[in-house]
Amino acid sequence: MEEKIIKTEYSEVMQKSFIDYAMSVIIARALPDARDGLKPVQRRTLYDMHELGIKYDKPYRKSARIVGDTMGKYHPHGDSSIYEALVVMTQDFKKGLPLVDGHGNFGNIEGDGAAAMRYTEARLERVTQEAFLADLDKDVVDFIPNFDETEKEPSVLPAKFPNLLVNGSEGIAVGMATSIPPHNLAEVIDATKAYMKDESITNEGLMKYVKGPDFPTGGIVINKDDLAEIYETGTGKIKVRGKVDIEKGKGGKTNVVISEIPYPMIGANISKFLMDVAALSETKKTMDIVDISNQSSKEGIRIVIELKRDADVDNFVNMLYKKTRLEDTFGVNMLAIANGRPETMSLKQVIKCNVDFQFEVATRKYQTMLEKELAKKEIQEGLIKACNVIDLIIEILRGSKDRAMAKACLVEGKTEGIHFKYKESKVMAAQLCFSENQANAILDMRLYKLIGLEIQALIKEHEETMANIYRYEDILERRDSMAQVIMNELDDIKKAFSRPRRTVIENAAEAVYEEKKVEEMDVVFLMDRFGYAKCVDTTTYERNKEAADAENKFVFTCKNTGKICIFTNTGQLHTVKVMDIPYGKFRDKGIPIDNISNYNSEKEMMINVTSQTSLNLYRVIFVTAQSMMKIVDGGEFDVAKRTVAATKLQDNDEVVSVEILDGQKNIVLQTREGFFSKFPVEEIPEKKKGAVGVRGMKLGAKDSVESVHYTGAGFEQTILYKDKPLELGRLKLGKRDSKGTKVRG
């Protein structure tokens, strides 16, 4: 066979493949369908439970069985995604109306995960059975082949209310994401009925029924005026606050009790909130907190913050709103699959999509039911007619040689071959014209059907069938009748499954609090050689002075309201607020300086650490490896940014020394090849921080400055050089930019 090579542009193949992949993720994985509000994995899981018969009034079944069956038949994308979808559908703190009834540990609002699927059990909720799966046997939706074409699955479930709004949805696809908040079932049903009565109703009109999101966690939506635009455009931000109650505590103290949390705080963010509140106390943002306790249980959320007697409670609560996630934002993006493609939808569009779908489902449902009733009518009429001439039919049956002969007589009036007892019977038999279905029903009829009561029951059943036919035809022919049927079903769902609203909708003023000024005081900054930093009060330092000086690389006094300045070999200056550094006991470990600053210990080396206060009072001497040097006024480093360039460096150069100028008379530059250059500090010019500086000494081709020493009152006059003492005072005092003196060890 001759080999066939197809040449194509690589970029075109990549583009087509990526688009196919993206559409697969968007349509088949991440985004919900606007008609039933379900993602494919949710729909397949619910349908599989329905197929397994795990109904709301039946015993629970192991989650592992449900997950395995769903994965094997409909969703071959891994058991973790299926189980996660199952878990979320059971969680009443995430879903406005849970669709699965879970038995066992399915996680909690504080972020603890569900137990393994082999331990938990589940079954369908009643609302799921009645409002999503009840009519699947009536050909109301299309069934499509599964992934290997061995099974059939519904393309969409016949949801009887806008589930997309009631339960909301969150998902991330390729290049797009959906984020729809949950709403109150009763309000959504009322809005749906209002739309069905008046399709020209506006979003504003629908909002008379749908007041806003109704989060399962309660809380307070504080930007009511923004909701109209959000529901009109399908995008926006909803600001949510937790519910705060004030209670009297012991000893005249006040307890701030949080009984409802913002919806975005679900999970690990509760722990983050507790840590943030504790941090407010640790960083002295507030001195009012006495104790924090999380007393939440199955009964609900209860976070208690105990305050001092004289605390300004309103100011403290406002601080929680501003500094923690007790006030949070829910980003709305009402993106769903509509008409086979992703679309950002308004409130009215979501309701319209579901209503149109319900009319389509109702049409198919009642068309199927009408066909069944018409078939029943045909049979019933045939049996009633047969009962009126039962003697003739019995004579035909007794005189026929086989079933085919009797059937031919009943349908076509053929009497050839049939032995009749009376000649009149043959004439009457020739006039029979039952339909084929009626003839089969007559031939299958049992003798007890000839009892008088059975005949009366048949006539009554026929009357009921005729009433159903008239009713179904009326529903199918008149849109008003179908609308009334749909609205009646909505009323039944509302009556059975609705609950009071949990989330309060209002306009609230922005939280404003007065930040109490921290009392300025001296603290001692300590940093060990591993980069762990902390601050202690001066009294603690004096008690442990010897140990502190021995164990730490940098020790100095600074103001608690000031900043710490870190100079690095790359010429950068990183600043850290002293308030961000842990303040506590001498034996506390502290915190890595990398965690609270932009300093990166893997990419740069710390040259000097000092306080902003000291820099403002003095000047600073910079020396680089290529012997470039300058003096800079320390005030230039009083900057607002966390990181700035402290000096300008030439190519392949780095800073080797940064020292505050405080009493030094002479400077001594030491090179790697053993040259020493000593000259007066006053020969170093003062420059701006953006300048390169001047040359301090002439270096050999491969030589560089290794160390910098100073002489003067209070500075060491002797250093170790090649393990031998070297008195700096004995070095010859020269000029700047000289070659220096070679010192041999």
CATH of the domain at 102: 3.90.199.10
Beta bridge partners, 294, equal 303
φ, ψ at 239 (rounded to 5°): -90, 125
Domain extent for 121: 38-158
Look at residue 195 and tell me if it is in a domain.
no
Same domain, 598 and 650: no
Same domain, 304 and 375: no
Determine whether 690 is exposed, middle or buried from the number of CB atoms within 10 Å of its CB (0-12, 13-18, 19+). Answer: exposed
CA–CA distance, 142 with 124 (Å, rounded to integer): 22
Structure tokens at 514: 């007065």
Same domain, 553 and 648: no
Look at residue 734 and tell me if it is in a domain.
yes
Look at residue 485 and tell me if it is in a domain.
yes
Assign residue 290 the CATH number of its domain: 3.30.1360.40
- Residue holding tokens 């043959």? 426
Of 165, 236, 231, nearest in space to 204 by CA: 231
**If pLDDT is split at 50, 70 and 90, which confidence band does 678 have?**
very high
The pTM is what?
Answer: 0.74
* CA distances (Å), origin 258, targets 21, 231, 268, 300: 45, 29, 16, 10
Q: Is the dihedral of CA 568, 570, 572, 577 positive or negative?
A: negative
Total length of the chain: 745
Same domain, 309 and 279: yes
Model confidence over 375-387: pLDDT tens digits?
888 888 888 788 7
Of 666, 742, 738, nearest in space to 708 by CA: 666
CA–CA distance, 490 with 160 (Å, rounded to integer): 7
Look at residue 730 and tell me if it is in a domain.
yes
Look at residue 80 and tell me if it is in a domain.
yes
Same domain, 581 and 677: no
Which residues are tagged catalytic?
119
Question: What is the distance of C-alpha 404 from the center of its chain?
Answer: 68
Look at residue 346 and tell me if it is in a domain.
no
Is the confidence at residue 452, as pLDDT, over 80? no
- Which residues, 6+ apart, have CB-to-CB distance to 492 below 8 Å? none
CA–CA distance, 295 with 742 (Å, rounded to integer): 73
HEC assignment per residue over 133-158: CCCHHHCCCCEEECCCCCCEEECCCC
Same domain, 481 and 537: no
- Which residues, 6+ apart, have CB-to-CB distance to 473 below 8 Å? 370
Assign residue 488 the CATH number of its domain: 1.10.268.10
Model confidence over 479-502: pLDDT tens digits?
999 999 999 999 999 999 999 999
Q: What was the pLDDT predicted at 28?
A: 64
Long-range contacts of range 12-17, CB-CB < 8 Å, 24 or more positions apart?
A: none
Task: Tell me the CB-side half-sphere exposure of residue 37, using CA atoms within 13 A.
Answer: 30
Decide which of 126, 158, 190 is a domain's last residue.
158
Decide which of 158, 190, 224 is a domain's last residue.
158
CA–CA distance, 104 with 92 (Å, rounded to integer): 14
Look at residue 461 and tell me if it is in a domain.
yes
Q: What was the pLDDT predicted at 56?
A: 94
Q: What was the pLDDT predicted at 287?
A: 82
Same domain, 573 and 543: yes
Same domain, 76 and 138: yes
Q: Sheet with 655-661: list strands edge to edge.
A: 655-661, 619-624, 628-633, 694-695
Same domain, 44 and 149: yes
Same domain, 487 and 370: yes
Question: What is the distance of C-alpha 401 from the center of its chain?
Answer: 76
Helix (H, G, I), strand (E, B) or coil at 516: coil
Of 690, 694, 641, nearest in space to 667 by CA: 694
Look at residue 549 and tell me if it is in a domain.
yes
Is the confidence at residue 411, as pLDDT, over 70? yes
Same domain, 734 and 622: yes
Q: What was the pLDDT predicted at 449?
A: 64
Same domain, 647 and 730: yes
Model confidence over 8-66: pLDDT tens digits?
787 777 877 777 766 666 666 788 999 999 999 999 999 999 999 999 999 999 999 99
Strands 61-62 and 694-695: unpaired
CA–CA distance, 36 with 730 (Å, rounded to integer): 91
Question: What is the distance of C-alpha 694 from the center of its chain?
Answer: 57
Structure tokens at 3: 């080999």
- Counting the structural domains of the chain, the total is 5
Decide which of 606, 626, 647 is a domain's last residue.
606
Strands 532-537 and 243-248: unpaired
Average pLDDT rounded to a whole number, residues 244-251: 87
